[in-house]
Amino acid sequence: MSVILAIESSCDDTSVAICNNGKITANVIANQTIHQNYGGVIPELASRVHQQNIVPAVQQALIDAKVTKQDITAVAFTRGPGLLGSLLVGVSFAKSFALALNIPLISVNHMHAHILAHFIDDPKPAFPFLCLTVSGGHTQIVLVRDYFDMEIVGETLDDAAGEAFDKTAKLLALPYPGGPLIDKHAKLGNPLAFKFAEPQIPELNFSFSGFKTSILYFIRKQEKENPNFIAEHLDDICASVQHSIVQILLNKLKKAAKQYGIKEIAIAGGVSANSGLRNGLQQTADELGWKVYVPAFQYCTDNAGMIAIAGYHKFLAKDFVGQEVSPMARMEF
């Protein structure tokens, strides 16, 4: 019997979820809109807003899950990676809650949790599977042997795929976070209108830094000839950039699948909400006989549901931490 309260506060969303015997019965996400004024997340503001949001989010989660504080059997929290000030709010709250109710404390790696989001709903992937984890801070191909037996077999050497989306959006004067807006405009444009070279990076690794610069130079050059270039071609630019990013991701995923002889393929993290990636993955699956797994939208971007399910599996393994545990901005995988 377990009722786990989970807290996620690694970046700019304050989220609280409840996992009742392996089922997510609440997943409250309080977004912080304040960062839109600055074109990116301001860490100091993020931690302040987490402080305002956390108690109401916990209260709402208890109401949604129809449980009381006394029903909670353990508290799970994101220990890292993330912004230190933001993590501190979640860790401190989780510790106090666990101490006051005299219940165990469970620390969760944010990137493990993105992958374990696949174990919230059916169908669930079978071990071993490969997971492309693509978020605002990470781009990784992970070989998942078991719930907590994971190995990064490829990753970005510089920027993450989400950053490539967000920075392109910034160049196009779209507000932060730009990924979902690029996705929206891409649906109306031609993905083959403009071509961007695929970076040639060895093995299963990625690089998006040069790619991002090539988009900057392309736009500058076009604007010299036509100052209205962006406004006149916004949909086509978004569709072409999205198509290129998706191709880079899928080509490495195909290489990994071949190398490891694995056909159970999952995607996770904020960028897994992207419609181009979802469609491209399904198309590749049809061609290569893969079984693919994509989380529900609410479990793609940062959410405490994924922390709760990871916490549930740690609870079953009695993998608890003490009050002395520290938040870690960067964390061993």
Annotated binding-site positions for Fe cation: 110, 114, 302
Cβ(83)–Cβ(91) below 8 Å: no
Q: Which two tokens stand for residue 121?
A: 């709903």
Query: What minimum distance in Å lies between the beta carbon of 312 and ligand KG4?
Result: 20
User: What is d(CA 288, CA 28) in angstroms, rounded to the nearest whole number?
Assistant: 37
Footprint on residues 98-157 left by Zn ion (CB under 5 A)? 135
8-state DSSP, 34 = G
- Smaller CB distance to Zn ion: residue 240 or 274? 274
x/- contact string, 90-129, with ligand KG4 (CB under 6 A)?
----------------------------------------
Q: Per the annotation, where are the binding residues for substrate? A: 133-137, 166, 179, 183, 274
Footprint on residues 141-180 left by ligand KG4 (CB under 6 A)? 162, 165-166, 177-180
Which of 3, 5, 6, 11: binder of ligand KG4 (CB under 6 A)? 11
Rounded to the nearest angstrom, the gap between the alpha carbon of residue 64 and the centroid of all alpha carbons in its chain is 24
8-state DSSP, 198 = P
- Smaller CB distance to ligand KG4: residue 143 or 249? 249
CB atoms within 10 A of CB 43: 17
H helical segments located in the chain? 43-65, 84-101, 110-116, 161-171, 179-186, 209-225, 229-260, 275-288, 304-316
Footprint on residues 257-276 left by ligand KG4 (CB under 6 A)? 269-271, 273-274
User: What is d(CA 36, CA 294) in angstroms, rounded to the nearest whole number?
Assistant: 28
Q: Which residue is nearest to Zn ion (CB)?
A: 135
The residues binding ligand KG4 (CB under 6 A) are 11, 135-137, 162, 165-166, 177-180, 183, 269-271, 273-274, 301-302
